[in-house]
Chain A
Amino acid sequence: MAQSFRMKPPMGEDNGWWWKQAAEGKLAIQRCQSCQTLRHPPRPVCGECHSFEWDHITASGRGTLCSYTVLHHPQFPGFDYPLIIILVDLEEGTRFTSQLINCAPEDVTFGMRLEMIMHEDPDGFRLPMFQPAQGAAA
């Protein structure tokens, strides 16, 4: 895959920290320090208790497939089509939007078990992708 094509996320106050974790190989989930509620995508305030104090945990990377779409058109330069985009229910309880790799479109099923694999572009940019869980008991 040719790679410098990828649209990089803006690294703002509310989300830049998450991408720094990804750069270190970790799939982070934001956590409210007051009530411990996990939240994704990251936001500056807890919607449950309104605390501005937060830290994060590192997800195990295990989850199940909530939904997916297989993209065929339009084809943007650099991406490999058909491109499988997924929603993953992480075992920690939050949901994450990602790409499924190492899996043929016809083999994708709702509820299939997945594991995170950190993808790295040639320019060093890293982002979490998922693949079918290896040797997972169904």
Chain B
Amino acid sequence: MSHFLKDKTAIAGIGLTEFSKKSGVSELSLAAQATLRACDDAGVSPSEINGFVSYTLDSTDEIELARTVGAGDLKLFTKVNYGGGAAVGTILHAVMAVATGVANNVICYRAMNGRSGQRMGQGVSGQIISSDLVHWSWYMPYGMLTPGSWVAMIANKYMQRYGVTCEDLGRVAISQRNYAQNNPRAAGYGNPLTMEDYLASKVIADPLRLYDFCQETDGGCAILITSAERARDLKQKPAIIRGVAQASTQGQEQMTSYYRDELDSLPEMELAARLVYEQSGLGPDDINAACLYDAFTAEVIMQLESFGFCGRGEGKDMVRDGALDIDGRLPNNTHGGLLSESYIHGMNNIAEGARLIRGTSTSQPAGVEHVLVSSGVGVPTGALILGRD
């Protein structure tokens, strides 16, 4: 029996603002631009939007955006927790609402002045914490204040266990920077990266260097979810949602799940994989391209294992074989990703997933039937499989 959510809904529209280091406009303005562009992309009037979903970290409330863009009566408004882990979660909430008839046309959005305003890279020294202050307090007094420091602890353990080298991380950074050369929106456009550049870049949180980190960006991205049936009558080829799931596992902390027996895998991502494969009836062999969440390079290699594209410890071998490149086994983050396009907290990776299904990526691999998209690593997360109609 097929899963209730499978194939019921689709991404009908995507909308992006310009990406920059200083937008000069409010986050509400960015959210509104992205939303209106997503509506225009789909051919849906903003007045038909009756649901909004964003991240708890997003400063733009659903009703502020609804008023701004002239949306209709709202039947769904919600925010998903845990930073970049929320990306696919917003899609799940929209899909559940549309598949059950609670709402019809839902916008999932994330808009951030992530460079000129509140920078995620500044970590918990800023204002992003509240109720989980006690959790962070096991790290703050020691000066462990940034995402890079939290991720490096796991990356180092994983690399030591499986013999992953700095060059392997560099290969991920370079592969995605190469894709960015075809994408004028990308922060890395016009700035190719060599292994020499990579290895010469400064160490931030050993073993992570500058180019292992994503691009703090000002920008917004919106995704329009509607029923598969409606999407077929709209402007774009629908990206059918074959499966979508949120996942959090035992011992889960936000970024610092350090107290599990094993630290060299991603249990929450393995759960996301199991759920999304079960729901879609698909497996790793059916996936032709991916947008694996890439706030940090090391996370991409670990996820190749989480999603069963290879065995434990073999992610580095796939990378060395060029699997992530355009002619490889699994072209990954063909827009440049968070590392080389922009860091819109993973929403821009979902937009690229839809483009890959439409066949409109600036680096379009041949024969893409199914695309896997994941959200934040080391946090409660999720996974999404999009398919061609």
Contacts and interface: CB of A to CB of B under 8 A. Distances in A.
A8 B153 contact: no
Given A40-B259, A85-B144, A98-B142, A72 B134 contact: no
Contacts of B146: 74
Contact of B141 (A6, A68, A71, A94): A6
- Using C-beta atoms within 8 Å of the partner chain, give the interface range for chain B: 20 to 34
Given A71-B205, A72-B205, A97-B138, A83 B154 contact: no
Interface residues of A, number: 33
Given A41-B259, A68-B156, A69-B153, A85 B143 contact: yes
B211 to A, nearest CB: 13
A52 interface: no
Interface string A44-72: 00000000000000000000001111111
B140 A7 contact: yes
A87 interface: yes
Nearest to B150: A69
Contact of B204 (A72, A99, A110): A72
Contacts, number: 95
A9 B139 CA distance: 9
A131 interface: no
A6 B121 CA distance: 19
A10 B131 CA distance: 11
Interface in B246-267: 256, 258-259, 263
Question: Which has the most chain A C-beta neighbours within 10 Å: B153, B154, B202?
Answer: B153
B157 interface: yes
Given A68-B156, A95-B258, A85 B135 contact: no
Contact of B134 (A10, A76, A99): A10
A56 to B, nearest CB: 16
B143 A9 contact: no
Interface in B116-165: 121-122, 125, 133-135, 137-146, 149, 152-154, 156-157, 160
Contacts of B142: 85, 97-99, 127
A46 B206 CA distance: 35
Contacts of A91: none
Given A41-B135, A41-B138, A99 B154 contact: no
B143 A76 contact: yes
Nearest to B264: A67
B140 A73 contact: no
Interface of B: 121-122, 125, 133-135, 137-146, 149, 152-154, 156-157, 160, 202-208, 256, 258-259, 263
Interface of A: 6-10, 12, 14-15, 40-41, 66-74, 76, 79, 82-83, 85, 87, 94-95, 97-99, 105, 110, 127
7 contacts: A7-B125, A41-B135, A67-B258, A67-B263, A69-B207, A72-B206, A76-B145
Given A14-B134, A69-B208, A98-B142, 7 more contacts: A12-B134, A68-B153, A71-B206, A73-B205, A74-B146, A87-B157, A127-B141
